[in-house]
Structure 1
């Protein structure tokens, strides 16, 4: 995103003016925005084939551009069901890519000015809760935002009153009625033979781009986090500041390594060669490739869950 002296509010208005001048009338004023996380771009394919419009982030004034594999970088406007205008954000920009918190959360402010009422955020994250398996889905009901508590916060600086109040509460960040609908839909669409489960829990935000150390994972688990990831929470903070209803899903793509690192003086290590020692440290190590692969295998269940929940919430199911 090019540097500018415009305020965040002015930048958001420029982006909205650009989109409103191009999006067909029937797709304007979307009721819901869906943010597609790593490996979950297929969510955008749930809209009707016609009418449908796509816009690269690079063409939208001030819109942040992702640089990470699995994040295409386009807005998709279309209809969910027959009547629900929606906008899908296929890929997101992250703080670890060098973006500011204002840039990371800019799309949420654009959605507010477009007329969005409800935002659905999805992400891929590592499981800290030992009851969670790879491929499970977690519905967020709370979060831990250590960076925000330390002052790296998307609402730091002069408050933009056009969006919300100076001190927004977050104890009600995750809409209870929306979460109730999710559980009802899950029971209807997931066949009994599947091993995939739906949980509710706490998401811990970390800046990235490194995955967590074993000690950091244990610390977050002891603090009450069920999963850990590098996105979503700043967007949720801004969404609530803007008065939007929030629904957020995590796809558990790997299990965080919680066992302490082997000590160099352990008797069991004696006589092992360098390759054997390396293999011991490699066990359970997360990679971005497995994140994307887990997204592919769970995509259809996630698509059904999100789509049918929204159709029910907006009275079409």
Structure 2
């Protein structure tokens, strides 16, 4: 793949697709409970992936690798999506959830240092901190200091932290144990594990009633095709190709992009502070994902350059 495509276009496409998941959730959640909605989404996605596996004649991993992929599926898809959707469903504003989950790049970097022995430079730590600061600016303009009606109950916070831990540990786990599997069959196994997780939650906690409105159908179509297939395959590819801390830093770009999409689609406010926060987040991510080029070696007379 051309270096420009792998270095810039694919990460940009991933950020855009991932950000639309929050828009899709906003459209779909009024018509189904979180785990029920996610279970239906996973089952439809599994059906489409099964066709794709058949057409591509994709290679299935061994039992040991499949077990690791199942763990990743529960963490990255089950815990993260379930936690985010339930935090919003219990009353916490999506922006507050984003701020809590926005700690993910920092948490992932710390776990990667401890588990994968990744080297995170001082410049990259500065970039991670700047990214978080940029996200905070975007959300501060949207909510300011007015949290009237925002549910900050312990239960809602537990769900948001549950999502944060799931996506952070899952990213590192995937980098450590799941990078050798075929992308399509590996994603299928992850979704099968996540679907099992959502099924347990739906039958244990919910009524499983669904109102099949046109809005829900359109939302489900995009969540399946754009996010569950498109964005997740790109995420697995990025994790395979890059350091866990570098890939995680891309999540800092999601809140600014989502805010811009909400401005275009719903007319939500997007002022100078939010735009400044987006720029700060971009600078932070750039510091994390770009590397300092080593100085060229001076040729030694009579020797090899």
Q: State whether TM-score is above 0.5.
A: no
Question: Which has more strand, going by share of residues?
Answer: 1
Tell me the TM-score normalized by structure 2.
0.28
Question: Which has more helix, going by share of residues?
Answer: 2
Tell me the TM-score normalized by structure 1.
0.27
